[in-house]
């Protein structure tokens, strides 16, 4: 069945509905990004095609005629059906798009993931990537539950029950604000003293916290936290104020150290605090296709 020649296009029906909604050709024209004369010509052409007068045009605006109101009622239904049609087509395209669900700890998501994803997109621009950001414990939980195809975490040990690959090491620095007494200290801090000092910590489940607490645990009972804060940004701000020392990734601390907003505190015996970055996945579901490419991009850095 072919459409009759009087069938209008959707764009002019949308314009007519806008005239009804706004009460004027001028306002409708602005809504559609055209001049008022152009909008008037399109409505006039529609009237000729339908052989109906749709608008009464006056100096104070345009009002719908009775046939115009009937046409607008039908136009609204047609436009709603067109929107539903377009949404259905978009969903069909979306269903065919390859997807990769990633979860990453906050440091990795902020400082490593953008570059890795850019490299992945250079190889597989067809992949739709979603990224969830949380602490290491929550990322591990998402991977175990199948809510993420691939996870990126930090910490001293491989997560139990998951497959994974070490991506590299990340150095951790002890830092203080310029007003903290340790900023002017001339001799290094021992790990025993560090363990006995209230520090600024991330929340429980943080890979940084787990790594440092495991290292310091061999040097005496840990001091209670000076504060537990939910983000590296909050810890940096608290450390800058001189509130307490913090242990931060080099990735996080470097800009603050370069600006003089934080000072690095030397550790005795040239101790270097490090943690490992890992890619993790469910056992029996090793990364394949785009996930494998992303792990290769991460391993190369």
Report the pLDDT value the prediction gives residue 269, as an integer from 0 to 100. Answer: 72
Separation of alpha carbons 180 and 162, rounded Å = 42
Report the pLDDT value the prediction gives residue 94, as an integer from 0 to 100. Answer: 64
In the chain, where the domains are located: 10-95, 100-295
What's the CATH code, domain 10-95?
Answer: 1.10.10.10
CA-to-CA dists, residue 151 to 23, 134, 204, 284, angstroms: 54, 10, 18, 15
pLDDT in tens, the chain (301 residues): 677 777 888 999 999 999 999 888 889 999 999 999 999 999 999 999 999 999 988 777 788 999 999 999 999 999 999 999 888 887 776 655 678 999 999 999 999 999 999 999 999 898 889 999 999 999 999 999 999 999 999 988 889 999 999 998 889 999 999 999 999 999 999 999 999 999 999 888 888 888 899 888 888 888 999 999 988 899 999 999 999 999 999 999 999 999 999 999 999 977 788 889 999 999 988 998 899 999 999 987 6
DSSP string, the chain: -PPPTTPPPHHHHHHHHHHHHHSSHHHHHHHTTS-HHHHHHHHHHHHHHHT---EEEETTEEEE-HHHHHHHHHHHHHHHHHHHHHHHHHHHHHHHS-EEEEEEEHHHHHHTHHHHHHHHHHH-TT-EEEEEEE-HHHHHHHHHTTS-SEEEEEESSPPTTEEEEEEEEEEEEEEE-TTSGGGG--SPBPHHHHHTS--EEEPTT-HHHHHHHHHHGGGSSPPPPSEEESSHHHHHHHHHTTS--EEEEHHHHHHHHHHTSSEEPPBGGG--EEEEEEEEEETT----THHHHHHHHHHT-
Comparing CA positions, the residue from 192, 190, 230 lying closest to residue 209 is 230
Separation of alpha carbons 158 and 280, rounded Å = 9
Tokens 């049609």 sit on residue: 85
- Phi/psi of residue 279, each to 5°? -95, 135
Asked: is 100-295 a CATH 3.40.190.290 domain? The reply is yes
Report the pLDDT value the prediction gives residue 1, as an integer from 0 to 100. Answer: 60
Does the predicted TM-score (pTM) go above 0.85? no
């Amino acid at each position: 069945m072919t459409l009759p020649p009087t069938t209008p296009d959707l764009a002019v029906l949308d314009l007519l509905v806008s005239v009804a909604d706004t009460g004027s050709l001028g306002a409708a024209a602005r809504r559609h990004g055209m001049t008022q004369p152009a909008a008037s010509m399109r409505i006039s052409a529609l009237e000729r095609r339908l052989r109906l007068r749709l608008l009464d045009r006056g100096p104070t605006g345009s009002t719908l005629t009775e046939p115009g109101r009937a046409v607008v009622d039908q136009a609204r239904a047609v436009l709603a059906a067109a929107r539903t049609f377009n949404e259905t087509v978009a969903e069909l395209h979306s269903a065919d798009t390859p997807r990769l669900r990633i979860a990453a700890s906050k440091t990795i998501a902020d400082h490593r993931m953008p570059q890795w994803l850019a490299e992945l997109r250079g190889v597989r621009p067809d992949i739709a990537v979603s990224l969830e950001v949380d602490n290491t414990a929550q990322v591990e939980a998402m991977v175990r539950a199948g809510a993420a195809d691939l996870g990126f975490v930090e910490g001293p040990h491989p997560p139990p029950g998951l497959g994974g690959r070490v991506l590299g090491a990340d150095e951790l620095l002890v830092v203080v604000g310029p007003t903290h007494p340790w900023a002017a200290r001339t001799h290094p801090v021992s790990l025993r003293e560090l363990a006995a000092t209230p520090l600024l910590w991330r929340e429980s489940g943080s890979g940084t916290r787990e790594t440092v607490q495991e290292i310091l645990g061999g040097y005496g009972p840990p001091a209670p936290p000076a504060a537990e804060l939910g983000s590296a940004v909050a810890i940096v701000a608290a450390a800058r104020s001189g509130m307490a020392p913090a242990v931060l990734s080099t990735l996080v601390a470097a800009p603050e150290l370069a600006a003089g907003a934080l000072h690095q505190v030397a550790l005795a015996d040239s101790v270097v605090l490090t943690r490992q970055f890992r890619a993790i996945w469910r056992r029996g579901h090793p990364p394949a296709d785009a996930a494998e490419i992303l792990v290769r991009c991460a391993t190369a850095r």
